[in-house]
Chains A and B, each alone.
Chain A
């Protein structure tokens, strides 16, 4: 490994040996963040979505080196079983986690939206999730789940 990548993953500072041509997706999975999924490796399906400096991005078309000194949030970093993130809880409550493969990316895209826009319209939710393919649910329920999580995150429910 020819260089050391300093990143903060889910709040923990890390020094990770990487090659300069390695994809961020591959490095994250190697480091044990298995919630980052590999569905197409061509920047389309969105299952590898993470938050890089609080922005949802597709880690399969970014080089790990691009993340130097950045903060990364993966699905593992946003909730626990006892205290799930409101979006995680909403996805469970709405019954919209089927095979689950798209869900980490979908939830992080939703988090990116709600962190910046606590009271989105349905169209804004649709736009925020437009980079995450799902073949199981038909999306409607997931859109509903994000809308349901919004007031919880605003502290209203």
Chain B
């Protein structure tokens, strides 16, 4: 059980986010807010065909246009095979693309990039590029892609650089299977078996700042890339790889970022500006339009998830069998790891010893999948939580009681942790902090779960039906045994500290969180810590902003830093005051020797260590490699109305009760919870890619790809259930991703509760819901 709860001095306090006021004042802090003289502008020509070979490509007319400075195509650009996925090295995604390919594989694939003096010049030049395509038959249905006669990656050279399954000749981008226990025995023991097939849809991250990169050559003739990225260090490495220039010649700077959610974990605009800047020796900018963001950036992998589970009358889950087909689109970005996470982020949630997971990722001629908050967990939770509800219904147990009985408890493990890692075998772990029981109970109270039948009866009419839903969700915190994060700190003469981290604040508030974690270790205030993040020249390595890892992993690196610095402060004070080191302690920004009453304030230590006594730089570097990935947990409840004549689903109230270990900054925790769950609500209710029969997205604009505004918002209540995670910084786990995965299943459960109709294919738009109701009534 988790008994200990950490009440901190700086952590667990909602200190103001470090950049909040500057951002609220509109300071020029983002990539595009710095003016460059002689800036070159880039526009991209995209394939209008889903599957075609470029037979002829003539850029001569475009190049002659006044103002045009260069055109890049497959003919004259880097031919290095790589992946655009900004992951650790060796990447667990297939090397299946070049900067430009002779064969285009989806509507939105790159054909040519034009660099010009003005955007207008570049746009005009695009129209002068002559391309002759040999149009090939495309394949769009991911359930038909495997082993199809149409082969998308038939060039013959794509490959993984890690030893995993890959068969591009069958459009097979990844395969995983894992089995623990005895599945057959498990199903034999079951009194009831439920199986469901669910399908989730394409979705886009929609950061309000589109992808943007500016590259320039500095005074040492090095390439500097100022870019909206979640992964500056991976970007540097991949740029060196693609451009074939030494890594030491590249500096990547991440300014403030206007949101990422996974799509900026992809190296998309950087190699284009870098290539042109290297050639032209001028600053070059490439910024996606909103349309490009939809058609050519990354998306959530659509999947077909088949899930079967058995249950005994007493509620014991006897077996779970999951089979996933994931659509990675034209390229295999995160194809393997999103797939493995569908299983690894869902199957450990409930007690069960007999589990099988089989997953396949396939190529299609549709937009490219990628990292997206939730990362597979979102997809599989839909199947998992629908089936859990149906199992509970089948045995006549309340869905809340069923989950209370079955969810993983502190001190327990799941065989899945070892069986499923990031595309390879995982790391065995016990979970030491689980607040899910409290989450379920407190959430139930907040939504009045136990009185729901009365509420439903009172509020339902002939045409509008009230319903309630519940789901539980887990995620992880970092990628164990793979990802490393580091920090560096130095003491200033006034006793403040600079904290330099590679961790990439993309709006999450990680600069503030890390300052709090570091400050807690030295009894500083968060305002005493000056944070600089994510510049590959000046900050230490960090894998970047993904996998729910910054608070947990970089946070622990900051705890380690504080420990090292504390030791140095004691050493120094002991030396200057001539007292025993082991009798020292820190209090109120001073090192105190209580026995003698002697003390040195941090400011004294800072000044003396610089100028007068045993001069030395107090400071340290520390890093962290996680050994486990403790899951955060959440219980989501929704109260909805379903209009059975129009199909409109209206969410009235939404409750999220979350266990993220120690909430380092409660207000920022709430921000992560509500941001994720509203994103999830939009994805469940109104976001969708609409393709025509040629594979072209018809609605690539905010006008037609709908995300909620304030006016559509339900009443939202967030409940933080603190626990203590022994392996985390001051007991913290992650919070960033877990809450995005609740809305899709919880609304299916609530619609079922309201109408008796089970919808397994979101989004729950009025037309789709009405159709499901009418099909059910047939």
Contacts and interface: CB of A to CB of B under 8 A. Distances in A.
Interface string A76-110: 10011100100011011111111111111001000
B25 A136 contact: no
A80 B210 CA distance: 28
A107 B523 CA distance: 35
Contacts of A35: 25-28
A84 B21 CA distance: 8
A36 B23 CA distance: 12
23 contacts: A34-B32, A37-B209, A39-B209, A88-B24, A91-B20, A92-B16, A95-B509, A97-B19, A97-B23, A98-B671, A100-B19, A101-B259, A104-B24, A126-B711, A135-B205, A136-B675, A138-B675, A138-B713, A139-B708, A140-B716, A141-B667, A142-B710, A143-B710
Contact of A133 (B14, B261, B702): B702
Contacts of A75: 24-26
B572 to A, nearest CB: 35
A72 B289 CA distance: 26
A39 B257 CA distance: 12
B136 interface: no
A107 B24 contact: yes
Interface string B501-515: 000001111000000
A101 B24 contact: no
A41 B508 CA distance: 25
Interface of B: 14, 16-17, 19-30, 32-33, 35, 205-210, 256-261, 289-290, 506-509, 665, 667-668, 670-671, 673-679, 701-703, 707-711, 713, 716
Interface residues of A, number: 57
Contact of A99 (B25, B32, B207, B670): B207
Contacts of B668: 95
A97 B258 contact: no
A42 B28 contact: no
Nearest to A36: B26
Q: Which of B205, B708, B709 has the most CB of A within 10 A?
A: B709
Given A42-B701, A88-B21, A100 B674 contact: no
A95 B670 contact: yes
Interface of A: 32-45, 47, 74-76, 79-81, 84, 88-89, 91-104, 107, 125-127, 129-143
Contacts of A96: 671
Contact of B208 (A91, A101, A140, A143): A101
A133 B701 CA distance: 13
B23 A93 contact: no
Query: Considering the complex of A and B, which 4 residue pairs feature the smallest CB-CB distances, nearest first?
Result: A35-B26, A99-B507, A100-B23, A95-B667
Nearest to B716: A140
A42 B713 CA distance: 23
A80 to B, nearest CB: 8
Given A81-B25, A95-B665, A42 B703 contact: yes
B499 to A, nearest CB: 20
B677 A99 contact: no
B13 to A, nearest CB: 11
A133 B707 contact: yes
B734 to A, nearest CB: 16
B208 A92 contact: no
Contacts of A43: 703
B26 A95 contact: no
A34 B28 contact: yes
A95 B713 contact: no
Given A92-B16, A129-B710, A45 B25 contact: no
Contacts of A140: 674, 713, 716
Nearest to B35: A32
B208 A37 contact: yes
Contacts of A132: 709-710
Given A39-B210, A81-B21, A136-B259, A104 B670 contact: no
A7 B161 CA distance: 59
A11 B227 CA distance: 33
A96 B464 CA distance: 35
Nearest to B34: A34
B670 to A, nearest CB: 7
Q: Which of A75, A100, A102 has the most CB of B within 10 A?
A: A100
Contacts of A136: 259, 507, 671, 675
A135 B14 contact: no
